[in-house]
Amino acid sequence: MRYSQLFGKTLKSAPAEAESANAKYLIQGGFVDQEMAGVYTWLPLGLRVLRKVEQIVREEMDALGAQEIFMPSLQPKEYWVTTNRWEGVDILFKLNSQTGKEYALGCTHEEVVTPLAQKFTKSYKELPFAVYQINTKFRDELRAKSGVLRGREFRMKDMYSFHTNQEDLTAFYNRALEAYVKAYTRCGLQVKVVQASGGIFTQNVSHEFQALTDAGEDILIACPNCEFGQNSEVATLKVGEACPKCQGTLAQMKGVEVGNIFDLGTKYTDAFDFTFTAEDGTQKRVLMGCYGIGTTRLVGSIVETHHDERGIVWPKSVAPFQVHLVSLRSKDAAVQATIDQTASDVYDGLMRAGIEVVWDDRADLSPGQKFADADLLGMPLRLVVSEKTLAENAVEWKARTSAEARRVPIAEIIEEVGTFVRE
């Protein structure tokens, strides 16, 4: 990608109303554009990050043996009446059709997936199984805030598992918990796994995955030495007490909820009278689990935990591009031609090596402006081709996480970048 041709550019300053780091840097960097409160357009740079995050999540769900489906966001009122949630969920968007029927815009999909699974499940031989989707959700939030952390329209991965008995459900639940931690780790996040309230979903066991950040809305009682934590809403321990897992001293922390999992039991299968024929011929109720990750929120959480005063510091696994190539201007036309050709050769060589690179080829900006944009956009590695570097037959190399730059011979740059990307 040549930056001069990129749709969506950096802004000179962040919007005045942008309070959180993710709102500030995602908008200023041209990753997203705010349409209205809680609703964003994902521009090319942001969409590349979102797709990488979702692919990591998809790979971990596939590794669990779950199968991907895609369910409608427009849901019939009847399903929500069946579960007694049509009047009980205050964040539910409700629509009146010109046909006289009423619909909901899905804030979650238990009301759709349960009767769907029921259509295809009659016997114990067809259980257990899990299905998931990555889809757009809608929630009528009273106060959409904190950039993409709390929106009215957002992306989510939601998975649902179906089981014949509690032992099987618990085993899958624990496997899903481990898969979530792995997915977050791959995205560059360290999370606390905290026991939490099931809210509108269930009275059974549930866990939240909290990324620690001062921008978090949730107050945690957690251990700084291990993954143990509790949401303060349901905490049974207090600050200063010993961690029950490692005996560390519990402290108060702030976190962003980046996922949750629920043991739904028979809450929804009771509502839909969803049974299966057991091996002994009797009818038994199917048990369910639910597992959600807000993928757009996950992007925002990564920014909240990976930034500095200059901009975003993307982890390699989710960066929109691995390399930010910058070519600087020279007053000498012949030298400028050599700079342009060298930058083009490096760009083409990286592309042929399968390395993702964006080239800031703009001719009308100062070095300071280009470097400021590179810091704001936060690619893992910045390469600079200039009159000074050509004098040494080299390219300037600076990792986003490093304060120091160094020179690498042009002949070695492709191989060294390949090693950097793979590390």
Residue 378: strand, helix, or coil: coil
The two three-digit tokens of residue 178, written as one number: 């481990």
pLDDT of residue 278: 97
| Bond before 128 cis per omega within 30 degrees | yes
Please state, in angstroms and rounded to a whole number, the distance separating the CA atoms of residues 421 and 423: 6
CA nearest neighbour of 233 among 257, 258, 249: 257
**Per-residue pLDDT at 209 exceeds 70:** yes
The overall longest dimension of the chain from CA atoms, in Å, is 87
Find the mean pLDDT for residues 408-419: 96
Please state, in angstroms and rounded to a whole number, the distance separating the CA atoms of residues 300 and 189: 11
pLDDT band at 14 (very low <50, low <70, confident <90, very high): confident
Give strand ranges (E) for 205-346: 206-212, 218-222, 228-231, 251-265, 275-277, 283-285, 287-294, 307-308, 311-312, 323-327
CATH classification code of 3-308: 3.30.930.10
Please state, in angstroms and rounded to a whole number, the distance separating the CA atoms of residues 32 and 43: 5
Find the mean pLDDT for residues 211-233: 85
Find the mean pLDDT for residues 95-110: 96
Dihedral sign, Cα of residue 351, residue 357, residue 358, residue 359: negative
pLDDT of residue 198: 52
Beta bridge partners of 343: none
Domain boundary assignment for the chain: 3-308, 323-422
Q: What is the mean pLDDT of the chain?
A: 94
Query: Which is more confident, 233 or 244?
Result: 244
CA nearest neighbour of 164 among 322, 43, 289, 42: 289
Please state, in angstroms and rounded to a whole number, the distance separating the CA atoms of residues 218 and 252: 10
The two three-digit tokens of residue 80, written as one number: 């929500």
pLDDT of residue 229: 86
CATH classification code of 323-422: 3.40.50.800
Q: What is the pLDDT of residues 313-337, one digit of tens each?
A: 999 999 999 999 999 999 999 999 9
Q: What is the pLDDT of residues 331-380, one digit of tens each?
A: 999 999 999 999 999 999 999 999 999 999 999 899 999 999 999 999 99
**Per-residue pLDDT at 203 exceeds 60:** no
pLDDT band at 100 (very low <50, low <70, confident <90, very high): very high
- Of the chain, the percentage scoring pLDDT greater than 90 comes to 84
Ranking 1-10, 45-54, 138-147 by mean pLDDT, the lowest is: 138-147
pLDDT of residue 235: 85
Please state, in angstroms and rounded to a whole number, the distance separating the CA atoms of residues 163 and 166: 7
Alpha helices in 94-137 (DSSP H): 110-120
* 277 CB-near residues (< 8 Å, 6+ apart): 122, 123, 124, 283
Residue 289 and residue 295 in contact, taking contact as beta carbons nearer than 8 Å: no
pLDDT of residue 197: 65
Is the entire prediction scored with pTM above 0.85? yes
Neighbours of 219 (CB within 10 A): 14
pLDDT of residue 201: 45
The two three-digit tokens of residue 94, written as one number: 């409700």
Q: What is the pLDDT of residues 282-301, one digit of tens each?
A: 999 999 999 999 999 999 99
The residue whose two tokens read 């321990």 is 237
Residue 395 and residue 385 in contact, taking contact as beta carbons nearer than 8 Å: yes
Find the mean pLDDT for residues 268-289: 98
